[in-house]
Amino acid sequence: MQLKHRIFVSLLIVLFLTSVFTTYAPEANAVATAPSYINIDLSGTLNVVDFPYGIDCSDSTYVYQTIHNQGLLVRIDRSTQAVTLISDPENVVSGQDFYAIVRDTSGNLFINERDNGELWKYVPSSGTWTRIPIVQEITGNSDITYPDGYNVKPKLVRVDENPASHGLHTYEFGIPSFGGVVFANGKVWVAIDYDLDFDSQAEANAGAVDISFHGVVEVDPSSLATSWYSITGASNLRGMEVDGNIIWITDQGQSKIFKFDTVGKTVTQTITLTAGSNPRELSLDATFLYVALNKPAGGNLGIAKVTKSSGASTTIDLGVANTAGGTFATYLSGNILGWSSDSQKAGYVALTTNVVTSFTTTSTNNHFMCTVGTQFWIAGKGSASVVIIDIPAPESGVPFSSITIPTIQCEKNVYRIQSDSVTLNCFEFMLQGASAGDFMETMTPAQYGQFSGLSPSSGTFRGLGYSVKDNSEIPTECQRIWYLPWCRSYYAAPAMSPILTISDTQYGFLCGAFTVAQHAKDCASSTPIAYRTFSISISGIPVTGERPFIVKIQATGTAEAQWQIDAGFGTVNILVYRGD
C-alpha cells in the first residue's frame, strides 16, 4: 500500500516516441485521386493552339508558366487559380519559344528563349522586360556585324564577304538549345548549345571563324553581366538541378550527367549512363539523383536512380508503356517522386515501397513540374493547361484511410534497480497494414524532462538488411510535408536530475505469422505489421531514498486529416524504483 502511494504522488516522466507509419496498399487496390486541371484560355491570343513548357512555383502567391511559341507568361493565383496572361515586347505568333523559367531571390523571373540565344528578365513588381543575349558576341572583326544589334537579335549576323560574289551575306543562325535555367550561388545559370557555322567564302574572305559552344552561361541577376563556361564532352545539355553550390546538368546527346561547381566554375564529376538513356530533367535528395529518361517511343517509361557519390545507377520501371516519348521531368516531395512524360502520362512513385501510381492526362505531353502545397503542378501540352496531381501520404502511394495507433511492449513493466541507472528494452508495432518510415531520435541526451527532441538523428538505422538515412529527407519547409515528426511541437515534462538517452536498434516489417520482410509490399496478401525495437537508458538516478517514478512511453498514431500525426497514443507505463 505504501508503494502504491509513492507511485501516485510521484512525477510522471513522459517520453514521446513519434513514429511515422503509413497505410500501405498495392497499386491495383489503391484509390488515388484523378488529376484536376487549370485550363489556360488562349482564345484571345495570337496563337490559340500554343502550349506551355516551363513552370515555377517558388512564389508564395503566384505560379508562373511559360507559353512556348508566342512567348507568353502565365500568372496563376495559387489560392483562387485565377489566370492572367502577360505578353512580352515581341508580340509574335510563333518563333519566340519560351522554354524553362526560374525565379531569383528578389522575385524576378528569368526565361530561356531557346531558339534565339536569349534570356528574358521579367520584373513582376514593375512589369518590365529586359532581353539578355546568351550567345557570345563576335568581336574584333569589322567585316562581321549585327544588323539588328547584338543586344536585340544576337543570332542574326552579317558578314562582308567582298571581293567574293556574295558581297554582304546575312546568317540567321538557329540556337536549338533545350537547356534549363536555375538560380544558384546568387546567379542565374543557363545551359546552352549552339554552333555558328559560316560558309567557306566568309571564312576565306572575311576571316569568319566557326563557333561551337556547349556549356553554361552565368548571368548576374542585377547587372545582367554574362560569363560563359564550356563543358568538355557535352553536346545536348538539358536538365539542371541545384544542390547547394553544385548544379547537376544532364546531356541528352551523350547520356551523361555533369556535376558543375558554381564556385570553381568547372565540372568536378562526370557520370555516364547507359547509351541511349536520353536523360532530361532531374531532381535529387542527399544521396541520389532521379533522372527522367526521355527516350523515343518503345518499352516502358523509366527514371534513372543515380548514386551521386559513385555514379552507379538503377532504373525505376514505371510500368507504363512509352507510346510517344519518354519521361520528361521528375520532382521530389519527401519520399514521393513525381514524374511527367511525353506519352500522355504522369504520376508518382512512393520511393520507400516502390509503389508506382500513373494517370492518363488530357494533355498529350507533360513537361516541367513543381509543387504547390500538397500537389504536383505540371505544365501540360495538348490543351494549354496545368495538370494537378495530389501528393499522396508518405511512402504508401495512397492517402491515409483510417486512424492507426501503435502498440508498445517492454520486456518488464516493473524495474527494481540497485544502481543509479537502468535500460528499458521495448518493442513497438502497428497491426493495421503500414510501412515504417524513417524513425528519428525524439530525445537527445538532456536534463531529465528538458527534452529538446526536435532534431533528427544523423545516424543510419539498420535492421534486417534494410537501412535509410533518416537525415537525408529533411524538408526545407515543414508545411510542404506535414507528416514529418520534426515539424511538430513537443512539451517538456517536469524537470528532474537523471539523464536520458534513447536509441532505435531495428525496424522493419512482419508478415502474417511474424515472417520477416524488408518492405510492406513483400507481404503479398498478408497484412504487414510495421515494427521497431528501441531502448531507453536512464542514468543519474538519485542514491538516497526509495522514491519510485513512472516512465510513460507514448507513440503517436496516424490519421487521414491532412496526413498529420493524430492526437491518439499508444501508451505503456513502466515503474522504476530503487531497492537493495
**Residue 265 located in a structural domain:** no
422 shares a domain with 543 = yes
Among the three residues 343, 373, 391, which one is the final residue of a domain in this structure?
391
**Residue 82 located in a structural domain:** yes
Sheet of strand 211-219, all strands in order from the earlier edge strand to the far edge: 181-184, 187-196, 211-219, 226-230
Of 172-186, 452-466, 512-526, 540-554, the one with minimum mean pLDDT is 452-466
The DSSP 8-state label assigned to residue 404 in this structure reads B
> What integer best gives the mean pLDDT of the chain?
76
427 shares a domain with 528 = yes
Q: Which amino acid is residue 409, in one-letter code?
A: Q
**Residue 407 located in a structural domain:** yes
Closest CA to 71 of 47, 55, 103, 35: 47
Q: Which residue has the higher pLDDT, 66 or 520?
A: 66
In this model, does residue 498 exceed pLDDT 60?
A: no
546 shares a domain with 405 = yes
Among the three residues 202, 231, 260, which one is the final residue of a domain in this structure?
231
Question: CB–CB of 575/413 below 8 Å?
Answer: yes
**Residue 338 located in a structural domain:** yes
**Residue 520 located in a structural domain:** yes
349 shares a domain with 488 = no
Which pLDDT tens digit goes with each residue over 259-278?
Answer: 999 999 999 999 999 999 99
pTM: 0.67
Closest CA to 170 of 153, 187, 185, 186: 153
Total structural domains in the chain? Answer: 3
Range of the domain at 540: 2-23+400-578
462 shares a domain with 499 = yes
Among the three residues 167, 198, 231, which one is the final residue of a domain in this structure?
231
Which pLDDT tens digit goes with each residue over 9-42?
Answer: 233 444 434 333 222 222 333 347 899 999 999 9
Which pLDDT tens digit goes with each residue over 131-178?
Answer: 999 999 999 999 999 999 999 999 999 999 876 566 788 999 999 889
Q: Which residues contact 158 (CB under 8 A, 6 or more apart)?
A: 144, 145, 146, 147, 168, 169, 170, 171
Query: At 3, phi and psi to the nearest 5?
Result: -65, -45
Of 122-131, 193-202, 292-301, 413-422, the one with minimum mean pLDDT is 413-422
554 shares a domain with 408 = yes
**Residue 266 located in a structural domain:** no
Grid coordinates standing for 519? 518492405
318 shares a domain with 194 = no
In this prediction, residue 62 carries a pLDDT of 96
Element (H, E) at 189: strand 187-196
**Residue 237 located in a structural domain:** no
